[in-house]
Amino acid sequence: MSAPDIAVATVEIELAGGTITLQPTARALMEISKRFGSMVTAVQQVLTLNADAMVAITRIGGKVGDKRSKGLDEEVFSFGLNLLQPLLLKYLASLNNGGRPAKDDDGEAEGGGGNG
């Protein structure tokens, strides 16, 4: 039995150093879960605007290399935690949903343009 075809929910963040694409992968899920102790804790840290956590999730999800990683704190600061928060929450939701876009209460993919 093969895995079903799924729409992968990537999240793009336009930072000063260029676009970072957060990829929902099993590796990212495991690394984030290990760093925070659980995915629930990772979500809580983003909800409380923990800057260190938000930079770490961006670094892990975007596979940011050592060279760019050194300036990522400043890039996140310049972008703004309030603007980054919903993007990271969307990313974490997709990780928790097997890489698929999270569903809203009506069963539609988030951002699907429901009736309102």
Check: pTM over 0.85? Answer yes or no: no
For 86-101, b/e burial (b = at least 16 CB within 10 A) is ebbbbbbbbbbeebbb
Residue 5 lies in a domain: no
Residue 88 lies in a domain: yes
Share in percent of the chain as helix, strand, coil (round to 5):
50, 10, 40
Per residue in 56-112, pLDDT (tens digit) is 999 999 999 888 888 999 999 999 999 999 999 999 999 999 999 887 644 555 544
From the list 8, 7, 10, 22, the residue with the least C-alpha distance to 76 is 22
Residue 114 lies in a domain: no
Per residue in 58-72, pLDDT (tens digit) is 999 999 988 888 899
Q: Which domain holds residue 32?
A: 11-96
Residue 112 lies in a domain: no
Residue 106 lies in a domain: no
Residue 71 lies in a domain: yes
Structure-token pair, residue 43: 């979500």
Residue 65 lies in a domain: yes
Residue 1 lies in a domain: no
Domain count, the chain: 1
Confidence at residue 3, expressed as pLDDT on a 0 to 100 scale: 52
Burial class (CB in 10 A: 0-12, 13-18, 19+), 84: buried
